[in-house]
Structure 1
Amino acid sequence: MFKLFIKGLVFGSGFIVSLLIFEKLVALNSIEHDAIEDNLNKLMQTPNIYSFDKADLNEKITLASHVFVTKYEESENGFGNAIITKVLKNSETHPLPYSVGDIYPNDSYYLNDSAHKMDGSVVFYIGHEHRIRKSFLYFDGQLAALDYMSLDEFISIFNE
């Protein structure tokens, strides 16, 4: 009888230990699931280049963390340097790593005679990592990608 009691006690202890281990695994999985869900929610709220392309101009301005204007200046070696001329929008929490007068290397290019000479670009940064961006070139003071809106008209939107 005593042996049967001990066997039952050992079986019950093993069962309780396995339930406790199972409970801990479920709790860990729940914590990991919550972390994954939080990261996914943050990712879904971060504007991406695809949603930006589909947005109208006002939404683009709202989604952008930084907006600035560059003007191309030819260097001695025939390289077109994009010089920042105006900063129209700048995130206070993650300021732009460039200022007026700096060369913006991502929009600089080699000039060639067959290409239409570009005056400059309007650059949108999306997000705070200074990685995702969109550039709109302007020619003769007009932004072709924005239905040939004049650069002055575009800049005036930020002065309202």
Structure 2
Amino acid sequence: MEKFGFNHFGGPDVFERFDQPQPTPKDNQVLIKVLAAGLNPYDVALRNGSQDSVRPLPFPIFPGTDVVGEIVELGADVDDYRVGEIVINHRSMGAYSEYVTASTAKILRKPASMSIAEAAGLTQCRHHCLQYADALHKLYTRRYNRYYGCQWCRW
């Protein structure tokens, strides 16, 4: 399986193709064939080294937090998803791969009304919206209800 990452910090030219074994899903996971991966400012910060003092990682580093893909295999305990479903996954790293595994607690079905490209950029947006909502909630606990989602996410 192909996976993209880097062995040193720098510009986009530091990316290399790595041959890695295809992951196998655990009992509560699915194997996802990646159809699209989002590119986020965090991924760029990992690549250029500006996150190294905050989150030091061993090389090679395989960035990518947002995945949209097709379920191609189910773990033994998975009964709420089917092979062939298109799902969205927000992960800590490793989205720039042909295949990833993910717990069913960390995936959701792609809305039919949303393109694969839109869905690939959705999870990071939602993540930041939730952080913002949590910060507002802490500041204005008695004045406002907690708001899950944001107007431009369509979630």
- How does the TM-score come out when normalised to structure 2? 0.25
